[in-house]
Amino acid sequence: MTEAQARQRGGNAEDISAERLAEIGIRFEVDGEIATITLDRPDKRNAQTFATWTALAGIGESLPEQVRVVVVKGEGPSFSAGIDLRMFTPEGVPGQGSFSSAARGGDADFEHSIRKAQAGFLWLRRPEIVSIAAVQGHAIGAGFQLALACDLRIVADDVKFCMKEPALGLVPDLTGTKPLVELVGLAKAIDICLTARTVHAEEAMRIGLAEQVVARDDLDRAVRDKAAQLLSTNRDAAVATKRLLQGARGRTLEEQGVAEGLEQAARIKALFGG
């Protein structure tokens, strides 16, 4: 039993039964080595609530071990219009409170809530998987950050990325700022966030926000093709290589060389150790 399964059986994990996910507006399907998470509230442009983020965290915790590729997509015209704007009203989202109620609570409580929400995004970078965001239409605020949480972004030609938070008096706090800076550089990240302007497909491709731009009707096929390419390489080598690539920025060239040697020694042992 994996640690995640143990936690789930112990009753501490999120309820991610299909019924509960449907209530929240998420579908989760596993087909062999590919898992697909679909934000499924198209009538509300896949607006996200606190329950969305805890459910994402729950999916990450209980992800079946055989999964190597995780696709994150949105049903309908938009990937996600960001946080559910009811969170900004005094009434909030039924059963989930609002920012007004959070503001009355202590700072420590609020920071704890943010960390819980961020857990829904952070697992998408695990070395054991490659995550692909399939993004069409609007990806605003939390929607943009969810796309940024993934390793790769394949986008439709109608994509509209927008980091709306600063325009609303907020900061992006769902782990999106670091990948944004790493992808596009500090100056462009400042430009995109502090103007809250929209980044369209051509620019997204040019500045490194998107790996691939395809016609809207071709999005699912392009994601399927990329998943197949990713699954064509050796699983353990892929995990070790992702670990190396992820660590590269934080190491000197010399240190990276050492890390490569260590990973390769383990590979050689596994392949030829007998």
Contact positions toward ligand ACO, by CB under 6 A?
44-45, 47, 77-78, 81-85, 138, 140-142, 164-165, 168
Query: At closest approach, how far in Å is the CB of 92 from ligand ACO?
Result: 12
Distance CA 98, CA 119 (A): 19
Q: Which residues, listed in sequence order, are joined to residue 35 by a DSSP beta bridge?
A: 30, 70
What minimum distance in Å lies between the beta carbon of 244 and ligand ACO?
33
Q: Which residue number, 140 or 180, has a Cβ lying nearer to ligand ACO? A: 140
**Smaller CB separation from ligand ACO, 8 or 52:** 52
**Residue placing its CB nearer to ligand ACO in the complex, 63 or 174:** 174
The answer to whether residues 222 and 163 touch, using CB atoms and an 8 Å cutoff, is: no
Integer Cα distance of 142 and 147 in angstroms: 9
The distance between the two most distant Cα atoms of the chain, rounded to a whole number of Å, is 65
User: Closer to ligand ACO at the Cβ: 40 or 84?
Assistant: 84
The structure tokens listed for 61 are: 């915790």
Helices (H), 123-274: 142-149, 177-184, 186-195, 201-207, 219-231, 235-248, 253-272
CB of 220 to ligand ACO, least distance (A): 20
Shortest Cβ distance from residue 165 to ligand ACO (Å)?
5
